[in-house]
Amino acid sequence: MLYPVELRAQNQRLTRFYLAKSGYDVKELYTSVSLNVMQAYLAISAIFLFAVAARSGEADRNPLDEQFLRSYMAGEYDLVGRKADSTLTYTGHVTFREEGELLEVVRTVEGSTDKCLARFDTIAGSDRIPVLRMHFHFDGKEYDATYRWQSDPDNYPRFTGYLYFSGVKAPGLEAFFPIHK
């Protein structure tokens, strides 16, 4: 077993002394590294960390590629949801259609169809988490909804989100699952 005892810089070398204990024998061991090598290692590490930090911040500054996202999301989806301020569930159908610079949404739930537009936004301040927002009519009320998306195993988008209206105590929940044709 090794026990660090002392760290000493002498003659342009950084030396760490250890005591090695095995049974009843105690031996003094040491490792030595040139200070120039250590300084070079620290400088390279600092440059690497700075480059990684600068590169990771770049994604936050870039706007969403809305044209790509509109074409990626266009299609038909099965909808499963729970009403706001309720435990009642429902199913339906959602169609996303790319119309120029817009993402048109057609929602059919419980035999009622509503058209609206979806817009891209970011939330969580400097984290800039991308979301899809909608404003629509459902169950006789005006709703706002915020959805997150991710790719399913077949690289189709899948959505989950909260829907709410003014004065809601418990937001509704919805999930959209792509219909494969």
Q: Are residues 107 and 51 in the same domain?
A: no
Mean pLDDT of the chain: 82
Does the pTM exceed 0.75? no
The percent of the chain in helix, strand and coil, each rounded to the nearest 5, is: 20, 55, 20
Pair (11, 98) in one structural domain:
no
Q: Which domain holds residue 139?
A: 66-178
The answer to whether residues 103 and 170 belong to one domain is yes
Do 158 and 114 lie in one domain? The reply is: yes
> How many other β-carbons are positioned within 10 Å of the β-carbon of residue 101?
8
Last residue of a domain, one of 46, 61, 76: 61
Cβ–Cβ < 8 Å for 75, 53: no
- Look at residue 175 and give its three-state secondary structure: strand
- Do 19 and 75 fall within a single domain? no
Token representation of residue 68: 């790509």
Number of domains into which the chain is organized: 2
On the question of pLDDT at 176 being above 90, the answer is: yes
Q: 38-70 pLDDT, tens per residue?
A: 666 666 777 777 777 666 555 555 677 889 999
Beta-carbon contacts of residue 68 (< 8 Å; ≥ 6 apart): none
Residue 1 contacts residue 21 (beta carbons within 8 Å): yes
Q: Please answer whether residues 90 and 72 qualify as being in contact, where contact means their C-beta atoms are separated by less than 8 angstroms.
A: no
